[in-house]
Amino acid sequence: MGRLKQLAGDVGCTAAQLCLGWLLAKADHAVPIPGTTNIAHLDENLATLAIKWPEDLSAAADALFSIDAPSGPHYPCSAQKQIDTEVWANEPLD
């Protein structure tokens, strides 16, 4: 999380805004659906649309969010047994 916060600080936004902005820049068909529990977070999410992103930001964020970055189980083993749509390679199912 430290590198994410540092990159966000360099751009002048929050880590959440950086993540949303990165997703929005990936493709026109990529539509992030951020959840929130309060108006302040909703305002922060909406403010993402007004941020002017440097051209090299996408490459820098790509380096943080590489396809190989996720590790460890997504769900507890008891829950994973019931889910057949999200299975990682070599994920233990017992």
**Cβ neighbourhood burial of 30 (10 Å; 0-12, 13-18, 19+):** exposed
pTM of the model: 0.67
Residue with the bigger pLDDT between 32 and 80: it is 32
pLDDT tens for 3-22 read 889 999 988 999 999 989 88
The pLDDT value recorded for residue 27 is 81
Tokens coding 38: 């309060």
